[in-house]
Structures are given as structure tokens and as C-alpha cells.
Chain A
Amino acid sequence: DAGVIQSPRHEVTEMGQEVTLRCKPISGHDYLFWYRQTMMRGLELLIYFNNNVPIDDSGMPEDRFSAKMPNASFSTLKIQPSEPRDSAVYFCASSLVAPDTQYFGPGTRLTVL
């Protein structure tokens, strides 16, 4: 298996623009997680899905952030409009059954100017 796939790996955009991050989980994994990592706040869970259904989105910072999982092999995290404080590395992770052993993707480094 190729592991968790994220795209793009790097994104540079200007404030106010829409940003869409993409994730393909490991085939057969029922759980998908979106994290954000910054030097100041460390690794933060934004939202997670079970069988394509959002279970907990309490970590989503504000309404500018939204996440979808239209099918078992694809998820998106959208920021609209983006702000400089959204600059971070965004990770997607998936797990097989119980949400414990998570497998992370390589991350998307987002820079908002």
C-alpha cells in the first residue's frame, strides 16, 4: 500500500484566497483524521471521520474551515477565506478500526501571505 497520500505537499497563497487540501487514506481504513501543526501550538486535531461521517469537529478553529469525506477514499479540508495565521503543516491520518494506531501522511505545508 502507498500509505496515506496528501496533496499538494506545499501551498503558497495570498490572504483571502480559498485553499483546498486533499487526502487519500489507506484502503480499508475506517477512520480519517485532519491535524494542524505549528511551532506555537504543536499538533492539534481538527476533525475526524468514521465511515465517511464526521464524528468530532470541535477542533475546527472557525467557520472558515470545512472538511468533507464524500467517499471512503477521499477527503478534503477547505479554508475560505485563508488568513496568514492559518499558515501551518496540515496532516491527514487514517486508522483501521479503533482510532488508535494512526498512519500519517507526509503533510501539506501551507503558507498564507
Chain B
Amino acid sequence: DAKTTQPTSMDCAEGRAANLPCNHSTISGNEYVYWYRQIHSQGPQYIIHGLKNNETNEMASLIITEDRKSSTLILPHATLRDTAVYYCIVRPPMDSNYQLIWGAGTKLIIKP
């Protein structure tokens, strides 16, 4: 079963910041939070990941709460090309039975 809860869909105006929430209340201390997105008819694309601290890269920022039970992915200036399904995934440490559990994700629609 998926360990994360995300809203089914969200809208955001072009040029504004898109804030995508994710709940992972059962996360363990050594589990990472990963974000991927899937643009229509393409394979999933890695965005960012983090353990405890906030992270930022050229695509997005990841804010993880102090208790690590939730996180927010921020796309600072959304464009129409950011319309996609965004997946929040809790990734366990590498072990012999490693497997990513993909939930339904959040369908983000950027409107002009």
C-alpha cells in the first residue's frame, strides 16, 4: 500500500507558485521523500528528494515539516509545461527488497 496521501487534483495560474502537499504520517527516520512527475504520454521524471532538511534545485523546492509527517513541493513560477501528474513517494533505505510504491499522485493543471 502507498505510504503517502496527496490531493487528487489541483489548479494553478501560470506564473504563480504551485504548492503541492503530501502527507506521509507513518514515515520512518531513515526514509526519504521523493517527488517525480509524469507529463502526458511520457515516462516519469525525477524532480527532487530529501530526508530532513529543505532542498532546492533548478526545478523545484522541497519543504519537509520538522516532524517529517508532511512535505510540500513548490514550483516557484509555474508554466503550462508543468501540467502533469506529480507523485510523492516515501523511499525506504536500499535493501534487497527495495521497491517504490507509486500512488495515484496529484494531477496539476496550470491555467493561462
A interface residues, Cβ below 8 angstroms from B: 4, 42-45, 48, 55-56, 59, 91, 93, 98-107
The interface stretch among B4-12, B18-26, B98-106 is B98-106
Residues on B with C-beta less than 8 A from A103 are 46
CA–CA, A105 to B45, complex, Å? Answer: 9
Instruction: List the B side residues contacting A42 at CB < 8 Å.
Output: 102-104
CA distance A44 to B102 in the complex (A): 7
Partner of B43, one of A59, A100, A104: A104
Closest beta carbon of chain B to A11's beta carbon, Å: 15
Residues in B neighbouring A107, C-beta threshold 8 A = 42-43
Q: Is the CB of A101 within 8 A of B43?
A: no
Task: State the majority secondary structure of interface residues on B.
Answer: loop
Residues of B within 8 A of A59 (CB): 99
**Considering the chains assembled together, what is the distance between the CA atoms of A105 and B58 in angstroms?**
21
Within 8 A of A (CB), among B89-110: 91, 94, 96-100, 102-104
CB proximity of B90 to chain A, nearest CB, Å: 12
Question: Within 8 Å CB of B97, what residues of A?
Answer: 56
Cβ-defined partner of B100 (8 Å) among A4, A45, A98, A106 = A45
**Smallest CB gap from A3: residue in B:** B43
A39 to B86, CA, bound (A): 15
CA of A55 to CA of B99, assembled, Å: 11
A100-B32, A100-B49 in contact; A91/B44 too (CB < 8 A)? yes
Contact A106 B98 (CB under 8 A): no
CA distance A105 to B44 in the complex (A): 8
Closest to B45 in A: A104
C-alpha gap A11/B99 in the complex (Å): 27
User: In the complex, which residues of chain A have a beta carbon less than 8 angstroms from the beta carbon of B43?
Assistant: 4, 91, 93, 104-107
In the complex formed, the residue of B with least CB distance to A55 is: B96
- Among A44, A59, A102, max chain B CB count under 10 A is at A102
- Having A55-B98, A56-B99, A59-B99, one finds 15 other A-B pairs with CB under 8 Å, namely A42-B102, A42-B103, A42-B104, A43-B44, A43-B102, A45-B99, A93-B44, A98-B94, A99-B94, A99-B98, A100-B34, A102-B44, A104-B43, A104-B45, A107-B43
